[in-house]
Amino acid sequence: MNTILFQLFGALATILLAFTVGMFYGGIRRKIIARIQNRVGPPIYQNFLDVIKLYSKETSIHHGAMQHMGPVFAITASITSLMFVPVLNGEGWFWFKNLNFSGDLIFLVYMMVFGSLGMALGAGQTGNPNSAIGVTRGLSQMVGYEIPFVMSMVALMAQFHTTSITGLMNIQVQENTWLMFSNPFAFIAAVLAMLGMFHYSPFDIVHAPAEVASGPVSEFGGKYLGLMMSSGSIFAFVKLTLFVNIFMGGAANLIELVIKTFALYLIPVLYGVTSPRYRTEQAITYFWKWPLFFGVIAILWASF
């Protein structure tokens, strides 16, 4: 009984951490972009305000059960993924232990997809063509970036003969190295793939506000949008933590975690801030050129 309670509280703590960090990162990003574009920009806690506002708004219409469940799927996916990602190294802090011995990297890769598909289904039922267009773009782009990403994952797994995240983290602790140095090509491929994962410019055709009215979420408002935003923030944290865990030696404490994740976060934020966005097929072919090449090299590196 006690353990279950502990686990529940631990899970809640992790979610809170992820939510907060994710929200702040989002705010910081808005600020950075504003500065680059020579604007003042909103305060970095703006995202919190937005979410609170959204939750407090009343939602008066819906288009059916699937729309109702779409955001739920999204938040389920991000929180569940979070549960299976170790937040800190080793035994870490038991609050953040969660379920990370129950799943492995491949499970996580699939779990992360769950959310986008669920959200896409929700968006689908609204009947808004913009949503559907956004979804097709998002899914197509996903095929592009998942391949180099998985290649780098496979390279790591092959190199160290483990498929579990904790296994990879332990190796880094034991050998006192970061995997981004053990297999640099895998890291490059993964980071390039991450650019696509975040849907930031220039890969932001999915919810290009000017063309498709924010794409998938265009028909969502109020509590739905709030849930989606929360899910997005948690998900950003999940992705960053995962990368830190497997490439950058994990983190011994929260400060280290924040520093490392933030450093990593700057890459997708700053990459191509000023560049025009890629069309979907351009994005796909982008990912299937250099990232793919690095992926292949990474696997070769791993297998010899």
Between 51 and 299, CB nearer to other proteins:
299
Between 35 and 279, CB nearer to other proteins:
279
State yes or no: residue 285 binds other proteins (CB under 8 A).
Answer: yes
CA distance 168 to 150: 15
Residue 143 burial (C-beta neighbours within 10 Å; 0-12, 13-18, 19+): exposed
State yes or no: residue 261 binds other proteins (CB under 8 A).
Answer: no
Which one of the spans 19-27, 115-123, 250-258, 269-277 is the region binding other proteins (CB under 8 A)?
115-123
State yes or no: residue 173 binds other proteins (CB under 8 A).
Answer: no
**CA distances, 203 to each of 5, 14, 26, 178, 277 (Å):** 42, 29, 17, 28, 6
CA distance 296 to 147: 10
- Nearest distance, CB of residue 44 and other proteins, angstroms: 27
Between 48 and 114, CB nearer to other proteins:
114
Write the binding mask 129 to 168 for other proteins: x where contact by CB under 8 A, - elsewhere: xx-xx-xxx-xx-xxx-xx--xx--xx-xx--xxxx--x-
Q: What is the dihedral of CA 220, 110, 12, 15, to 10 degrees?
A: -60
- Nearest distance, CB of residue 281 and other proteins, angstroms: 4
State yes or no: residue 31 binds other proteins (CB under 8 A).
Answer: no
Between 42 and 167, CB nearer to other proteins:
167
Between 210 and 255, CB nearer to other proteins:
210
State yes or no: residue 102 binds other proteins (CB under 8 A).
Answer: yes
- Nearest distance, CB of residue 97 and other proteins, angstroms: 12
State yes or no: residue 253 binds other proteins (CB under 8 A).
Answer: no
State yes or no: residue 88 binds other proteins (CB under 8 A).
Answer: no
State yes or no: residue 219 binds other proteins (CB under 8 A).
Answer: yes
CA distance 282 to 287: 9
Phi, psi of 221 (to 5 degrees): -150, 180
Contact 108, 85 (CB under 8 A): yes
Instruction: Report the SS3 class of residue 88.
Output: coil
- Nearest distance, CB of residue 173 and other proteins, angstroms: 18
Which one of the spans 28-36, 75-83, 171-179, 180-188 is the region binding other proteins (CB under 8 A)?
75-83
Dig out the tokens for 200 from the structure.
Answer: 């930031």
Sequence letter at residue 50: D
The residues, any chain, with a CB within 8 Å of residue 191's CB and separated by 6 or more, are: 243, 264, 267
Q: What is the CA radius of gyration of the chain?
A: 19
State yes or no: residue 289 binds other proteins (CB under 8 A).
Answer: no
State yes or no: residue 172 binds other proteins (CB under 8 A).
Answer: no
